């Protein structure tokens, strides 16, 4: 199930399912509002988006209420998570997946938003989007994220990144599968349990923030996923940004120990970096390490 693309005059809804919004955030968010208004869109905050009920954010029910209401609101055509944080998973029990199913629309974010994006796809089959948070549209020093949003959501473009983005082969091969993934720490949390991701025949994309996740913790996450059969199920891996002194690909290969033959590619055009390719979760893609285009979408992700 794919959402409709954005048109000039449409309203974008803002939710804050992770950390609370502070004054410093608002200054940047206002810049993003001006940017999107100048691009032809209206912006609407969810009921609880600017609240801080608990002192470390709003309650699980308040966060879920905002998501449910934004999907139910016919005026809102796309939803952006305002910023990242740590606990968007607290919404899972209170999301109205039936409301989401009958009101399919764009929802976009990255980092902690990984949880919501994957659970919504898992529960509803709605394609969701790993891309800039609303704050990230103007909090980085380039316009890459905004350009990606316009390309994917307005023009319906299928290219994953830009022509001059560098991709390298870590392990050769060809594979087709549905894209799932995002931030490694969040994907790891969803490797098992009630709200686990179905990794069967998927292409898994992963990125991580070095400032919060040193190499030994990356190793912890990857081994936990290995121990729970994730790498036995997937068709391929696409690695994104990780600015550690030891590369993400090296830690992954140390974990895999040569036991898996699926293709692995690496690029620096998604994650905690100014380059934020909009990646559709739930869309069929192909990796071909022998091709100049290492990864491509095989189907539309917006109507």
pLDDT digits (tens, 9 = 90+) for 217-269: 999 999 999 999 999 999 999 999 999 999 999 999 999 999 999 999 999 99
Phi and psi at residue 60, to the nearest 5°: -60, -45
Phi and psi at residue 84, to the nearest 5°: -90, -160
pLDDT digits (tens, 9 = 90+) for 91-130: 999 999 999 999 999 999 999 999 999 999 999 999 999 9
Q: Is residue 152 over pLDDT 90?
A: yes
Secondary structure in 3-state letters for 217-279: HHHHHHHHHHHCCHHHHCCEEEECCCCCCCCHHHHHHHHHCCCCCCCEEEECCCCCCCCCCCE
Mean pLDDT of 29-40: 98
Three-state DSSP class for residue 40? coil
| Length of the chain measured in residues | 303
| Domains parsed from the chain with CATH numbers | 11-154 (3.40.50.10740), 167-297 (3.50.30.60)
What's the chain's average pLDDT? 97
136 in the Ramachandran plot: left (φ > 0), alpha (ψ -120 to 50) or beta? alpha
- List, as one string, the DSSP characters of 153-207: IIS----SS-TT--EEEEE--EEEEEEEEEEHHHHHHTSSSTT----TTEEEEEE
Q: Is residue 23 over pLDDT 90?
A: no
pLDDT digits (tens, 9 = 90+) for 154-207: 999 999 999 999 999 999 999 999 999 999 999 999 999 999 999 999 999 999
**Burial of 166 (C-beta count, 10 Å sphere; 0-12/13-18/19+):** exposed
- How much of the chain, in percent, has pLDDT values that exceed 70? 100
pLDDT in the model for residue 4: 98
Residues 6+ apart with CB under 8 A from 249: 170, 239, 264, 266
Cα separation, 61 vs 66, in Å, equals: 9
Mean pLDDT of 60-64: 98
């Amino acid at each position: 199930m794919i959402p409709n693309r954005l048109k000039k005059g449409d309203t974008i809804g803002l939710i804050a399912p992770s950390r609370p919004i502070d004054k410093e955030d608002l200054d940047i968010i206002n810049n993003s509002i001006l940017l999107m208004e100048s691009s032809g869109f209206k912006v609407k905050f969810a009921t609880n988006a600017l609240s801080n009920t608990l002192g470390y954010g709003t309650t699980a029910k308040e966060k879920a209420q905002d998501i449910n209401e934004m999907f139910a609101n016919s005026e809102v055509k796309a939803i952006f998570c305002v910023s990242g944080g740590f606990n968007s998973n607290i919404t899972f029990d209170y999301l109205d997946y039936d409301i989401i199913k009958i009101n399919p629309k764009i929802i976009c974010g990255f980092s902690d938003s990984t949880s919501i994006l994957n659970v919504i796809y898992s529960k509803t089959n709605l394609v969701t989007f790993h891309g800039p948070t609303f704050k990230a549209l103007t909090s980085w020093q380039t316009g890459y994220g905004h350009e990606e949003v316009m390309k994917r959501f307005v023009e319906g473009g299928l290219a994953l990144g830009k022509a001059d983005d560098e991709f390298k082969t870590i392990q050769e091969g060809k594979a087709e599968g549905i894209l799932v993934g995002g931030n490694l720490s969040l994907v790891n949390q969803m490797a098992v349990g009630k709200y686990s991701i179905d990794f069967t025949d998927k292409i898994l994309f992963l990125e991580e923030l070095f400032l919060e996740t040193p190499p030994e913790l990356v190793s912890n996450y990857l081994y936990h996923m290995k121990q729970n059969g994730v790498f036995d199920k997937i068709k391929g891996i696409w690695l994104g940004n990780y600015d550690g002194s030891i590369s993400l690909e090296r830690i992954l290969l140390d974990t895999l120990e040569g036991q898996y033959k699926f293709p692995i590619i690496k690029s620096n055009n998604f994650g905690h970096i100014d380059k934020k390719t909009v990646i559709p979760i739930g869309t069929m893609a192909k990796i071909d390490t022998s091709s100049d285009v290492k990864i491509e979408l095989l189907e539309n992700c917006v109507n």
